[in-house]
């Protein structure tokens, strides 16, 4: 029984990290993930299924934003919970590919700091505003 629990935990990606970013940053990051070509995916060691899973984390943030005032939506801080293994993948992507697609250097800085903090802090919680 114990080995089954450990196996399932590892399949899910280990511990859960929580990132909180402004909604605009989340959407720009998601668009950058969508813009990755098949060759770039292979360079990252990803499959289309990996990218879809990562995008699903970002798209889930839209549910939290549905009730928000449209005028304040861009600055609304949204929490994303994702497995640690996906934080690691997103860090590699953010270092290698995000600078090519990001239209805002401040967004890139916020995302990088948030991912870095989530990868080093127990519990992975980090808020960037």
| Domain with 23 in it | 15-127
Question: Is residue 60 one of the residues assigned to a domain?
Answer: yes
The model's confidence at residue 129, banded by pLDDT at 50, 70 and 90, is very low
pLDDT of the residue at 96: 87
Question: Is residue 88 one of the residues assigned to a domain?
Answer: yes
Closest CA to 127 of 75, 85, 77: 77
Question: Is residue 6 one of the residues assigned to a domain?
Answer: no
Question: Is residue 3 one of the residues assigned to a domain?
Answer: no
Question: Is residue 1 one of the residues assigned to a domain?
Answer: no
Edge-first strand listing for the sheet containing 16-22: 77-83, 16-22, 126-127
What is the count of structural domains for the chain?
A: 1
Question: Is residue 9 one of the residues assigned to a domain?
Answer: no
- Residue range 88-101, pLDDT digits in tens: 899 999 998 888 88
pLDDT of the residue at 68: 84
For residue 128, the Cα-to-chain-centroid distance in whole angstroms is 13
Q: Identify the helix (H) or strand (E) that includes residue 35.
A: none
Question: Is residue 5 one of the residues assigned to a domain?
Answer: no
User: What DSSP letter does each residue of 65-98 carry, written as one string?
Assistant: HTTS-TTTGGG-EEEEEEEHHHHHHHHHHHHHTH
Closest CA to 16 of 114, 125, 126, 129: 125
- Residue range 37-91, pLDDT digits in tens: 999 999 999 999 999 999 998 888 878 788 888 888 888 888 888 898 899 899 9
Q: Identify the helix (H) or strand (E) that includes residue 17.
A: strand 16-22
20 forms beta bridges with: 79, 127
Question: Is residue 8 one of the residues assigned to a domain?
Answer: no
């Amino acid at each position: 029984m114990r080995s089954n629990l450990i196996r399932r935990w590892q399949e899910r990606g280990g511990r859960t990290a929580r990132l909180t970013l402004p909604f605009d940053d989340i959407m720009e990051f998601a668009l950058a993930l969508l813009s990755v070509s098949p060759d770039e995916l292979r360079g990252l060691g990803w499959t289309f299924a990996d990218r879809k899973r990562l995008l699903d984390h970002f798209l889930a943030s839209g549910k939290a934003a549905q009730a928000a005032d449209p005028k304040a939506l861009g600055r609304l801080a949204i929490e994303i919970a994702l497995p640690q293994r996906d934080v690691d993948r997103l860090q590699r992507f953010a270092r290698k590919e995000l600078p090519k697609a990001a239209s805002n250097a401040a967004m890139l800085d916020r995302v990088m700091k948030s991912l870095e903090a989530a990868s080093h802090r127990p519990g992975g919680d980090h808020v960037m505003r």
